[in-house]
Amino acid sequence: MGFCTSVAIRKILDVVKENGSSENVLMSPLSINMMLNMVASGSRGKTLEQFMAFLGAKGTDDFNDKSSVMMSLLASETAASSSNETETVKPPVLPKPTATFDTKPYWAQPLERLMYSSKEIPEMKEQPPQFSLANALWVDNHFPLIPSFKEITQSIYKAQVKNVDLITQAQQVKDEINSWVENETKGLIKDLLSPDVTLGPPLCLVNALYFKGAWEHAFDASATRDRDFHLLNGETTKVPFMISQDVYRSFASFDDYKVLKLPYQRGHQCTDKQFSMYFFLPHRRDGLQDMMEKFNSDTTMLQPNRFHLREVKLSHLRIPKLKFSYYVDAKELLQDRGLTLPFDPFGADFTDMVNGFLVYIDCMLHKSCIEVNEEGTEAAAVTFSGMLSGAARVYKPPPPRPSFVADHPFMFMVVEEFSELVVFTGAVLNPN
């Protein structure tokens, strides 16, 4: 899953451990990893060695090769976006359910079952996923990039390189960065750089990520109902839940938590990409911390091929609608995990990046947002770096008639299946 996913898992655990915390967490390991790979490719000496140790890379070429895999997610998006209209397609063929018999007449069955029982899926409009990943550099006129680094940023990272004056026109550059971020995230992230953020030479680097996917099996919006969500402090709150009954979904149950996968539509143009959202639900209402402790001790547990998912008929499927954003000081987060040299004014070595003296990463910001509703998911993330110069578990088959009712804190991930890249990960402590 990678170092950046481990960082995100640890941050979720830290938030969960805070007494009475009800803060939702969201990060994009893919966005942070892309930024770190880009700046690492301009480092040398002990700084490069520390990057290599933390990112699990063998050298600069390894950073760029892994980033090329990330950028390859854009390949089918270009083709998919060339068509302005969606195409009507036949609904997917679902596994044939096992015959069951209910001796109760329809009028004696629970009202909720009658309201939310699965219906024949109508024909639907094909909605291939939208995915964009953009990089940009604002470079001060007095500190030219090393030619090899400039070539890497433009060829591997497809980055825009803009020459500006970060001394006398810092506010203008800040406004331009904020505008670029808002545009690249389709308006989801605005005013990334607040007034208290100070820009200066030699350069600023920005990465922006946007994702929008429609569920392969959408929820019926008319079935959405307010239900209780149980908080970690023992209180409950009413939140709108997306509800389905008696449906086949990819599912597994382990000793102390369940896993559910909801895939997004692929579209004819995205034959080599498959995005899915995974939900990790503790069996106990207060079991999120214990579950996160396990994931933190062994992130390989989060690899999709370890889940043993299979199509199972779920008696009840309930997931709360989500809409929230999250901001984190990535510099502080990474320093706490041991990545320190890139941020040290006297220890950092970025001599393969820019012509400058004592260049280091002064700040690294990460902001992300997500909305999950009956139709699918829309999410965005931005990572900003301002650089200054100066000073094994055992699988258990799921029980008969399982359910997945996410009415208490849980974790989630948005993953591209073929590359196993984690695009987003987070935890929901309070949907409200």
Q: Tens of pLDDT along 117-173? A: 444 344 456 788 999 999 999 999 999 999 999 999 999 999 999 999 999 999 999
Look at residue 318 in the predicted model and tell me its pLDDT: 97
Separation CA 402–CA 301 (nearest Å): 22
What local confidence, expressed as pLDDT, does residue 195 receive?
A: 87
Helices 45-55, 29-40: crossing angle, 10 deg rounding: 150
Compute the distance between CA of residue 288 and CA of residue 304 in angstroms, rounded to an integer: 19
- Residue ranges, CATH 3.30.497.10, the chain: 1-75+128-213+323-371
Residue 209 is predicted with a pLDDT of 96
161-211 confidence digits (pLDDT tens): 999 999 999 999 999 999 999 999 999 999 999 888 889 999 999 999 999
pLDDT at 103 over 50: no
Confidence of residue 401 (pLDDT cuts 50, 70, 90): confident
pLDDT tens profile 270-322: 667 899 999 999 999 999 999 999 999 988 888 888 888 999 999 999 999 99
Does the structure show a pLDDT above 60 at 255? yes
Residues 6+ positions from 86 with CB-CB distance below 8 Å: 125, 126, 127
Mean pLDDT within 333-357: 92
For residues 124 and 350, the model is more confident at 350
Q: CA distances (Å), 244 to each of 104, 118, 119, 241, in order?
A: 21, 7, 10, 10
Asked if 424 contacts 377 with a C-beta cutoff of 8 angstroms, the reply is no
Residue 129: name the closest of 226, 18, 269, 240 by CA: 269
Of the candidates 158, 176, 167, 148, which has an alpha carbon nearest to the alpha carbon of residue 60? 148
Lowest mean pLDDT among 5-9, 28-32, 55-59, 260-264: 55-59
pLDDT band, very low/low/confident/very high, at 75 (cuts 50, 70, 90)? low
How far is the C-alpha of 145 from the C-alpha of 36, rounded, in Å?
17
Closest CA to 50 of 418, 335, 359: 335
Mean pLDDT calculated for residue range 87-102: 38
Separation CA 286–CA 282 (nearest Å): 8
In this predicted model, which residue has the larger pLDDT, 318 or 107?
Answer: 318
**According to CATH, what is the number of the domain 1-75+128-213+323-371?**
3.30.497.10
CA distance 157 to 232: 41
Residue 60 has pLDDT above 60, yes or no: yes
Residue 335's contacts (CB-CB under 8 Å, 6 or more residues apart) are 343
* CATH for 221-320+399-428 (2.40.50.140, 2.30.39.10, 3.40.50.180, 1.10.101.10): 2.30.39.10
pLDDT score of 98? 36
Give me the chain's average pLDDT, please: 85
- CATH 2.30.39.10 boundaries in the chain: 221-320+399-428
Residue 22 is predicted with a pLDDT of: 84
Contact by Cβ (8 Å): 326, 367: yes
Segment holding 132, helix H or strand E: strand 130-140
At 400 the pLDDT is 58
State the pLDDT at residue 61: 86
What is the C-alpha separation between 234 and 20, in angstroms, rounded? Answer: 9
Which H/E stretch holds residue 289? helix 288-297
Q: Which residues lie below 8 Å from residue 65, measured CB to CB, with a gap of 6+?
A: none
Pairing between β-strand 310-320 and β-strand 404-405 as defined by DSSP bridges: parallel
